[in-house]
Structure 1
Amino acid sequence: MTFEDLEPRPQRGAAMASLGREDLDLYSVDELHERIEALEAEIKRSKAAISGKAAKKSAADALFNFGN
């Protein structure tokens, strides 16, 4: 067992909530552009997860015939 195992896991959505409270005045224009790129990459990752989950649900619906 490592020390990381003993630390509490962050709550779901905590990172997103902290992003909304961050003071953007501390960032330069270049840093804000980098931040936007990182957020857009996270949006793409989230959309890919949604697509994957939807595909799994469709496959399960077809298998168990819940799509009627």
Structure 2
Amino acid sequence: MSLFDDDQPRKKTTHEIGSDLSLLSVDELTARIALLTEEIARLEEERARKSASRSAAENLFR
């Protein structure tokens, strides 16, 4: 183990849908759940923003 391992950029945790989970530790699974939960919140916020924009446009053209 090198003394400089901490200097190396860490690979960002990603998750591929349908990937094999059997080799992951409990901590890795917890990290992936947190990552996916954050992504779901981001997607829901964007959906709400687009829905509001669409509703405003529909009301303008009525």
* TM norm. shorter chain > 0.5: yes
| 1:19 Cα offset (Å) | 2.2
Match of 2:48 in 1: 51
Look up the equivalent residue of 1:52 and give its one-letter code.
R
How many pairs does the alignment contain?
48
Q: Distance in 1 between matches of 2:31 and 2:23?
A: 14
Write the deviation string for residues 36-66 of structure 1: whole angstroms up to 9, x where unpaired: 000000000110011011001111011101x
Q: Distance in 2 between matches of 1:42 and 1:20?
A: 13
Write the deviation string for residues 2-51 of structure 1: whole angstroms up to 9, x where unpaired: xxxxxxxxxxxxxxxx8232110111000000000000000001100110
Runs of 4+ in 1 over 6 A off after TM superposition: none
Q: Which has the higher helix share?
A: 1
Greater RCO, CA 8 A, separation 6+:
2
Q: Please report the RMSD computed on the Cα atoms of aligned residues, expressed in angstroms.
A: 1.3
TM-score by length of 1: 0.65
TM-score by length of 2: 0.71
Match of 2:39 in 1: 42
How much identity, in percent, do the aligned residues show? 44
Is 1:31–2:25 an aligned residue pair? no
Unaligned runs of 5+ in 2: 1-14
